[in-house]
Amino acid sequence: MKVLDIDLDFFLDRVTFPISNETRYPDENCEVWSKEKVVEYLEKTLKLSKNEKIRGRIITNHNESLDFWKEQIVNGKLTVPFQIIHIDSHSDLDYIDRSIDGELDSSGYMQLLKLPNVKDRYHFIYELRTMELHDRWVNEGNYLIFAIAFEWVNKIIYCTNTTEVYDNADYPEQFIFKNSKEINNKYSKILFLANSNNKEKYLVDYDIITKIQEDECFGNYDFVTFSISPQYTPRKSDFIIDIIKEYIDEI
């Protein structure tokens, strides 16, 4: 199965990052794609159609995609492993997180990755202490690593919003790229999640392509999520939310 995972910040002219004390990214700091350009990308590149809407959900923060996939898996509507088509200006594989007191603290995150049993990893995030650790460790910048840690996904295609292929994420030692190669302007890599003995545990194909590329991966999606990501997107881009609604059968 295949899920389409879109972030509103893809439709900006730059890669954005949260600004302190701002609930929305400032309008004056970026330009937004025109309505015509957005529609063209959705229909001609991503192969979306208003006549054949995809089941999905519009979410506020991008880590809610993980919860949506969990919901569909539990309901028996999404089978694992599945592919993720990730349309975003960020890879969302960033392992760095900060604790409540603001100090750099990734110990709990590393504790999760070192668990050798996938059921234990899932329990750690979704069942232990009534979601306390979920709320602390899963965020919009790292949720894709959790999808891999749960062994939900066997391939991720990351489409950046730049015209050059790049990779702008940090990775923990337990989560490393290898066998990187470029084929037809597409960077193909293999990610692996290692256990506490540093032995390969779970392999995931990972491709990186640019916004201008068309690819055989686009189309025939089973589900779609669309994240508003307020701290990364200006209010002037909100018109795109109404556009995307025309392609989604919201559930």
**Per-residue pLDDT tens over the stretch 159-185:** 888 766 665 555 555 565 666 666 665
pTM of the model: 0.87
Give residue 34's pLDDT band: very low, low, confident or very high (50, 70, 90): very high
Give residue-wise pLDDT tens across range 218-247: 999 999 999 999 999 999 999 999 999 999
Length of the chain: 251
- Backbone dihedral region for residue 183 (phi beyond 0: left; psi -120 to 50: alpha; all else: beta): beta
Please give the residue that has the higher pLDDT: either 112 or 140: 140
Coil, strand, or helix at residue 145? helix
CA 4 to each of CA 82, 87, 90, 220: distance values in angstroms, whole numbers, following the listed order: 11, 8, 15, 10
Residues 13, 221, 151: CA angle, nearest 5 degrees:
95
The DSSP letter of residue 164 is S
The number of beta carbons lying within 10 Å of the beta carbon of residue 50 is 11
